[in-house]
Chain A
């Protein structure tokens, strides 16, 4: 629920209840006041009755007065009086109306009488209704107006906030453009905005620093590696090497080769992050996969792996370098993690590329395998191959997915998801 919908809803509920309560109390007060007035009139009527009785008459009210006086003979008069609400038949208007009565006992002409004075409340009730309406309608109008103003005002006040939200969403650490500050009229939002500007700047500079560090560190490692490699090459040429020296050299070559790979992979990741790779061109995926299959054929046949390919003629627009790395990594992955005599299934259609392979491992953790440096201990890779794969897919806006089905580790890349 949006903030101001929520705010409006609460405001409306509270206002409505408040209005009802105040209305009820108001009505009760008015009704009480009315009863008091009528009761006062009734007392006056009783006085008239007394006054008339001193002249020996029974007082009868005029027909237009909505008032009735009834006399009833009783045995003995006890001075008392009681007020209450009642309903009576108004003979003048020929209808039943609500009313107030005063009952009292008096001696009239030396005779004890019970006297009942009934006064109609009709006119007064009309008055109350009118008063209520006169008050209620403007209040309701005011209420509606407040709601409307509230809505417009909130919307206006929150517009920069929404812009701010949009800008945060659009903010990408990998992209060149910085977080766009929004012009804020409200102090709190202005604060939020400036905090965000500062934060995004810091995040960006930290990120860039790390990237730069990775790049520089990797670069700096290349020269010593080149020295080591060249020294090894020269050492290899000496004719005095024994079998053990040979084995040592092989190990050293392997170690430097792994370090080199690691460096290159890190550099590649930084480059993909920085979008430093070449522009898009039209590439036939079928051709590319077939080329790579030939390229890797020795590795596949050496281990007696069966390769099954079902490829449709698909052309896509992408960076050639990225796509080559993508296909290379997929191939490397399905070959490297396979067992001798295993199988590889590759399929390509308009929607997706699927690389599936048999392997020693049971299902891998799909949440982790694309993390940098995630690898099982048996693997001799750098642990960056799949991370690079993921990064390329992010860059090309492909969807990369892994699942394990029917003993096959399956990697799917969906083009337009």
Chain B
């Protein structure tokens, strides 16, 4: 996938690029409004990550531009502005998602995949991983063609891990993915363990191999091999 990262904070921009490139994506970066327009003029991307506050312009203008020239890129706004109005404005101008800083890179990755999948979806949308098939429309998980029943949270969590396969997902990222703003109330993130255990058991019972791997108490990894 080709991804354009429009972000003026070099530290963050490098981290994002590093994470996404390790996934096998192609990343371009733009540090400001002018650079962003230049890049967008020359190339086409699968997904654009857009910071709203740029040193020489307003990120929303880039959205306007993309809409005006009818571009097909999926756009995810990444911003520290977290008011509802900002979100509504961004989304109604044509952004596909809105992620509030700070975020976990695994979360960003999952959202990028979701946006791109939605944009390029023809017919049924699903993800295949060896013997596991995740049906995004029916919200169903099939192992060897047989439905494995999962709760909504388990489904979301599995999708999250599959989207970031091969990556270590920290417990805090997993908890925040599921509980969002309210994740702070858990004094320890250990209860995510119960969820992973349940998903694991259901998949294995359904005939799948065990793909989950625990990493030094920091988190889990959905290994691809």
Contact = CB atoms under 8 A, between A and B. Distances in A.
Nearest to A225: B102
Interface residues of A, number: 50
B193 to A, nearest CB: 9
Identify which of B80, B102, B184 gathers the most chain A CB atoms within 10 Å of its CB: B102
B218 A246 contact: yes
A357 to B, nearest CB: 13
Contact of B216 (A237, A242, A276): A242
A226 B80 contact: yes
Nearest to B190: A302
A233 B15 contact: yes
Contacts of A296: 182
B180 to A, nearest CB: 10
Interface in A236-254: 236-237, 241-243, 245-247, 249-250, 253-254
Interface of B: 9, 11-12, 15-16, 18-19, 22, 80-85, 101-106, 153, 167-168, 170-173, 176, 179, 181-187, 191, 194-195, 215-219
B84 A321 contact: yes
Contact of B181 (A228, A253, A264): A264
Contacts of B82: 264, 267
Nearest to B184: A261
Given A302-B191, A336-B187, A380-B187, A219 B215 contact: no
A26 to B, nearest CB: 81
A4 B175 CA distance: 67
Interface string A260-271: 110010010001
A273 B213 CA distance: 46
A222 B100 CA distance: 9
Given A229-B102, A229-B104, A271-B83, 6 more contacts: A226-B102, A236-B170, A241-B215, A242-B216, A246-B216, A278-B84
The list of the 6 closest CB pairs from A to B, nearest first, reads A246-B216, A230-B15, A222-B80, A226-B102, A332-B185, A227-B11
Contact of B153 (A260, A278, A298): A298
A278 B181 CA distance: 18
A88 B16 CA distance: 126
Contact of A241 (B102, B179, B186, B216): B216
A233 B104 contact: yes
Contacts of A260: 102
Contacts of A335: 185
A277 interface: yes
A169 interface: no
Nearest to B51: A223
A177 B49 CA distance: 40
B101 A223 contact: yes
Nearest to B101: A226
A359 to B, nearest CB: 13
A233 B9 contact: no
Interface in A187-236: 219, 222-223, 225-234, 236
A271 B82 CA distance: 10
Nearest to A231: B15
A276 B176 CA distance: 25
B191 A223 contact: no
Contact of A336 (B101, B153, B185, B219): B185
A246 B215 contact: yes
Contact of A298 (B12, B176, B191): B191
B19 A230 contact: yes
Nearest to B216: A246
Contacts of A232: 170
Identify which of A219, A236, A241, A380 gathers the most chain B CB atoms within 10 Å of its CB: A236
Contacts of A247: 216-218
Nearest to A228: B102
B101 A249 contact: no
Contact of B194 (A245, A271, A277, A302): A302
A328 interface: yes
A298 B189 CA distance: 12
A276 B184 contact: no
Nearest to A265: B184
Contacts of B15: 227, 230-231, 233-234
Contact of B185 (A219, A249, A299): A299
Nearest to B185: A332
Identify which of A225, A230, A231 gathers the most chain B CB atoms within 10 Å of its CB: A230
Contacts of A271: 83
17 contacts: A219-B81, A222-B101, A223-B12, A223-B80, A230-B19, A230-B105, A237-B22, A241-B216, A243-B216, A253-B218, A257-B184, A258-B184, A298-B153, A302-B194, A328-B182, A381-B184, A381-B185
A256 interface: yes
A229 B103 contact: yes
Contact of B16 (A223, A230, A253, A332): A230
